[in-house]
Structure 1
Amino acid sequence: MIKVSYKNIKRYKEIAQVLIKYGFAFVVEKLKIDGIAYKIPIVTRENIKYMSTGERIRRALEELGPTFIKLGQILSTRHDLLEPSIIEELSKLQSNVSTFEFEYAKEIFKDEIGLDFEDVFSYFNPKVIGSASIGQVYEGRLKTGQEVIVKIQRPNIENLIRTDLEILYSIGKAIDEHYKDSLINFCEIIEEFSVLMLRELDYNFEARNCEKFMELFKNDKNIHIPKVYWDYTSKRVLTLEKIKGVQITDFKKIENNHWDSKKIANIGALSFMKQIFIHGFFHADPHPGNIIIVGNEKIAFIDFGIVGFIDSLTLGLITDMLFASINKDIERIITVLMDLNAIQDNTNLIKLREDMSYLIHYYYNIPIKKINLSEVINEFMRFIRKNNIKLPSQFATLAKAIITIEGSAKVLNPDFCLPVIFKDFLKEFYINKFNPSNIFSSCQIYLSQLARDIKFIPKQVRLILKNLEKNEIKLTIDDKKFISIEKAIYNMTNKLSISLIISSLLVGSSLVITTNVGPKLKGYPLLGVIGYTLASFMGIILVVSIIFSNKNNQE
């Protein structure tokens, strides 16, 4: 039974009511919340029998508030875990939150920065220009003349989110216990989600992301990143340069400015390729609202609360998998998946090869201009789910970002084809990669690492020899199959021991009856009768256990 602190009881009760309302009573039953689970008043249920599972999940999350909405939005990126119907519903989640009073915003700014609005701004618009689950966005002008946008966090939002995260972990454990055979580990997802949420609660994290992007693209004439005003930025306040431009959905203004929308779409896609393949650091939510056109052939990215990281080793494996797919090398793809620890113990490798072969051959002969990358990624994720493959979470973030950037580019150019851009980029990428100066730089890094490793080898060898001399080296073998073999041997020896006992009883009882000694029972020696009875009883138990054991093994 879950013990909860008094301050969290009300929130637990609210969550339990909503879960029951939308048909997830089993979660509440599994939670066994002390003092709550069995005292929940009857909730007026909506007519949920006509709702799909995805719709019930979405509505429940919307009703539960900011933390749960954010969880749903992140889960909507996990095409590798959830069915398309649920993903589609979760993608509809919107942070329909009410705005908080301007006076609270002024108080929070003063508490965080130590200055009043009047000390910092020559003009500040009290009207909210954007409202999200974590905070609100305002616009103003610094006394030094720069126009800025200011994000201010909601009052008490951190306490609410921390409480919800604690409750979510309990819910995750309950769901994992209910679906023990599921590939999805909800506790693991909640832990990853908790890290993301706590980062979003600290606006310094978003500010550092923004500054890093600015450094990466400082020499790119096609990309603009807003400046961070650190003097007026803290954990709960973020002040950034105001980007003046046109939304990519505003076709009329784009046309009036005589901008080439096709070129702008290509610029956005190419910058995204650079983020992934060159920097290993990418904007994880490049939807139309986060991309602004600031001039002819120039765009700006905004909102760096969610970013993705991809290390060089993983990037190399992704590239290997890509080229293996082009060459129809099934075995190489499987090797890469093994290197990523993605193939589970219960994965059927024969079925995996069959499905992979079908997937590759289906798309192999399609002209590159006709390939819909979003469709390919979604099909690949279905293949992943079907074959119990568990990819690192950064894959899901990357897949979602690719789908989003392709969708944003198609807003500007309906004929946009990301695979064509990707193919052209890879040519340039590998030409630069094998440039003599880049090769020399890579060799320098490699030789430096090699020299460092060689330096430590003698010390490691001496340590191994010393341990050998003292007989302090132990060899440990840990394998799940050895555990099952151990259990099988244990069961077999037990059954063999019982069989020997039964045989001994039968032989001993026969001798007693033959000699006709001792007290009698209906003319037969009592000890012999007892021995036969015990042997019969134990024999029946042994036969039954063998039958059930064989049946379980077959299942």
Structure 2
Amino acid sequence: MKLLALRRLIRIQQVVVRYQLDDLLLDLPLPWWLHALLRAAPWHWLPRAPLAMSRGERLRRSLEDLGPVFIKFGQLLSTRRDLLPPDIADELARLQDQVPPFPPEQAVALIEQQLGARIDQVFSRFEHQPLASASVAQVHAAQLRSGEDVVVKVVRPGLEPVIRQDMAWLFALARVMERASADARRLRPVEVVGDYEKTIFDELDLLREAANGTQLRRNFDGSPLLYVPQVYWDWCRPKVLVMERIYGIPVTDLAALHDQHTDMKKLAERGVEIFFTQVFRDSFFHADMHPGNIFVSTRTPHDPQYIAIDCGIIGSLTAEDQDYLARNLLAFFKRDYRKVAQLHIDSGWVPAETRLNDFEAAIRTVCEPVFEKPLKDISFGQVLLRLFQTARRFNMEVQPQLVLLQKTLLNIEGLGRQLYPELDLWSTAKPYLERWMRQRMSPLRLLHNLQSQAEQMPVLAKKTRAALDRLGQGCAPATPPRSSGVERLLGAVLLLGAASQGLAPAVDTWPAWVMLAGGLYLVLRR
């Protein structure tokens, strides 16, 4: 075992003992042998005063003591409210990503090494005192020699070996949990750790964040809703990101927002509109919209505009997921629980053999009490959370894209109600969803769908013919027969059927592709 791994294990053990996390494990329904092993631990032989902390606070503080990787892991866990008890999820949500900065000399050395030039050759001014410091990177203010004010984000040096070591221990712990407890297996700890590993290694690549920011900026170019800082690609590298410096009010600074007479109702409603625009128009949404990443422009307080930074985590949905999600939400708020259940089965989110009546009854039982409240008092994010929790009882597979969406919606809704407590999220969301559904069936959209499928026809015809020729080898005559008039007529009918299927985006498209392939083969066959 490497010395670093052994030292890290000892450190983890010290934190476990200090916060008595082993006592939390003893409260779980573990196998007898694991209970006995925990009871036999040496630190149990010494008297320990009970900590005056809840289990959630003990877990939060232990993650903070273990450092950046574990803090980030706790933040991820806090978004999985479908897996955690509410008290623990609430406490983990308080994790603050306030990590002491690393020495500016190291930051300068890493920036120069990545850019292949001295700091003074790139920047006319570079502030050594960092503006902010987080788990993965820290940020310095600077000015390019061309005059633009920028911020320089630089990844912490030496972080990757520590992350790999910590991830190895997290995976080991997750596997032990899965083997030891049926309840733990239901929480899928190995899968959760795997999601986290992908997330944190993605965040180490600042070129990915730069690309995400550029795309999001393009999506909202000229929009009064959202502004995304410009990325200066000439000075971006895997461990260094240079982008426009923004000057705005942190969205949580309510006093400053009120002082500049910001229209708080409009600001809250625009946050909701931005979310649904990203999800349904663009299928490209900022999935890390916590308050530290959101600012409000000072230019037009009567017509407030958001500013978003840190695009390291981005979510997206397929066209099918968008369609099913929109129809689910509309059916849900119309209390059409049978349609909600049917859509879950049709989408493949729950197994096809699920009994529709049982699933419908479960959804109704959970959701009817929610709708006894006025719409403005209903938490949209909590409704979605309850829907997913109910579906999990019917063996719904974890949908990573929906987990990210749920997390983002909870953040947006919580922020919106903090800005404007009377926010009626549904009155803002419902018209948008209905308008989006109408646009999907508009003649222009149908023509676009037909054009997209038509563009694939030559390639599909070639592949289909090659596949059918391979199937026919060995049993077909040496010279393939020409198409008869009947075959050509049948092919034309199939092509017309494929076109009509392609015009309906809500219908599964595989029948259209089958008819298209068969029709092309019959028409083009020599």
Deviations 1:271-312 (A, max 9, x none): 211100011110112233322222212221111122212121
The reply to whether residue 420 of structure 1 matches residue 427 of structure 2 is yes
Q: Aligned partners of 1:465 and 1:45: how far apart in 2?
A: 80
Q: Aligned to 2:247, what secondary structure does the other structure show?
A: coil
Aligned twin of 1:59:
61
Q: Which moved more, 1:451-460 or 1:304-313?
A: 451-460
Aligned twin of 1:108:
110
Question: Which residue of 10, 32, 52 corresponds with 2:7?
Answer: 10
Q: Aligned to 2:21, what secondary structure does the other structure show?
A: coil
Q: Aligned to 1:85, what secondary structure does the other structure show?
A: helix
Letter in 2 for 1:113: L
Alpha-carbon distance, 1:159 to partner: 1.4
Alpha-carbon distance, 1:73 to partner: 0.5
Alpha-carbon distance, 1:45 to partner: 8.8
**Structure 2: 5+ residue runs without aligned partners?**
32-37, 477-526
The reply to whether residue 130 of structure 1 matches residue 132 of structure 2 is yes
Aligned twin of 2:440:
433
The reply to whether residue 405 of structure 1 matches residue 412 of structure 2 is yes
Deviations 1:320-342 (A, max 9, x none): 32233245444443343334544
The reply to whether residue 233 of structure 1 matches residue 230 of structure 2 is no
Deviations 1:317-362 (A, max 9, x none): 2123223324544444334333454437998876543321223433
**Structure 1: 5+ residue runs without aligned partners?**
31-36, 470-555
Change (3 A) 1:363 1:463: farther
Question: Which residue of 221, 245, 261 corresponds with 2:248?
Answer: 245
Aligned twin of 1:275:
278
Task: Give yes or no for contact 2:60–2:91 (8 Å, CA) kept in 1.
Answer: yes
Letter in 2 for 1:353: E
The reply to whether residue 218 of structure 1 matches residue 195 of structure 2 is no
Alpha-carbon distance, 1:20 to partner: 4.2
Task: Give yes or no for contact 1:352–1:387 (8 Å, CA) kept in 2.
Answer: yes
Change (3 A) 1:53 1:178: farther
Change (3 A) 1:446 1:119: same
The reply to whether residue 287 of structure 1 matches residue 287 of structure 2 is no
Aligned twin of 2:176:
174
Aligned twin of 1:538:
none
Q: Which moved more, 1:62-71 or 1:448-457?
A: 448-457
Give the 5 Å matches for 1:266-415.
266-294=269-297, 295-296=299-300, 297=303, 298-343=305-350, 352-364=359-371, 366-384=373-391, 388-415=395-422
Alpha-carbon distance, 1:228 to partner: 0.8
Higher-Rg member (1/2): 1
Alpha-carbon distance, 1:146 to partner: 0.8
Q: Aligned partners of 2:350 and 2:51: how far apart in 1?
A: 37
Q: Aligned partners of 1:153 and 1:48: how far apart in 2?
A: 40
Q: Aligned partners of 1:134 and 1:188: how far apart in 2?
A: 22
Give the 5 Å matches for 1:408-487.
408-449=415-456, 452-465=459-472
Change (3 A) 1:230 1:41: farther
Q: Aligned partners of 2:140 and 2:95: how far apart in 1?
A: 23
Question: Which residue of 187, 191, 204 corresponds with 1:188?
Answer: 191
Quote the RMSD (CA, aligned, Å): 3.2
Q: Aligned to 2:129, what secondary structure does the other structure show?
A: strand
Letter in 1 for 2:443: P
Q: Aligned to 2:210, what secondary structure does the other structure show?
A: helix
Alpha-carbon distance, 1:102 to partner: 1.3
Q: Aligned to 2:125, what secondary structure does the other structure show?
A: strand
Give the 5 Å matches for 1:50-89.
51-89=53-91
Alpha-carbon distance, 1:24 to partner: 3.1
Q: Aligned partners of 2:348 and 2:17: how far apart in 1?
A: 38
Deviations 1:366-425 (A, max 9, x none): 553343323423433443455553330221211111111112222332211211110121
Change (3 A) 1:435 1:381: closer
Task: Give yes or no for contact 2:346–2:352 (8 Å, CA) kept in 1.
Answer: no
Q: Aligned partners of 1:324 and 1:449: how far apart in 2?
A: 34
Change (3 A) 1:192 1:45: farther
Letter in 1 for 2:138: Q
Task: Give yes or no for contact 2:345–2:351 (8 Å, CA) kept in 1.
Answer: no
Letter in 1 for 2:369: Y
Letter in 2 for 1:153: V
Q: Aligned partners of 1:356 and 1:15: how far apart in 2?
A: 42
Task: Give yes or no for contact 1:293–1:299 (8 Å, CA) kept in 2.
Answer: yes
Q: Aligned partners of 1:251 and 1:76: how far apart in 2?
A: 25
Q: Which moved more, 1:354-363 or 1:453-462?
A: 453-462
Give the TM-score normalised by structure 2: 0.79
Aligned twin of 1:493:
none
Q: Aligned partners of 1:64 and 1:348: how far apart in 2?
A: 46
Q: Aligned partners of 1:334 and 1:453: how far apart in 2?
A: 35
Change (3 A) 1:427 1:232: same
Q: Aligned to 1:94, what secondary structure does the other structure show?
A: coil
Q: Aligned partners of 1:302 and 1:364: how far apart in 2?
A: 36
Letter in 2 for 1:24: D
Aligned twin of 1:550:
none
Q: Aligned partners of 1:147 and 1:178: how far apart in 2?
A: 55
Q: Aligned partners of 1:52 and 1:349: how far apart in 2?
A: 41
Q: Aligned partners of 1:345 and 1:42: how far apart in 2?
A: 51
Task: Give yes or no for contact 2:342–2:356 (8 Å, CA) kept in 1.
Answer: no
Q: Aligned partners of 1:45 and 1:348: how far apart in 2?
A: 54
Aligned twin of 2:21:
23
Give the TM-score normalised by structure 1: 0.75
Q: Aligned partners of 1:93 and 1:467: how far apart in 2?
A: 67
Change (3 A) 1:180 1:110: same
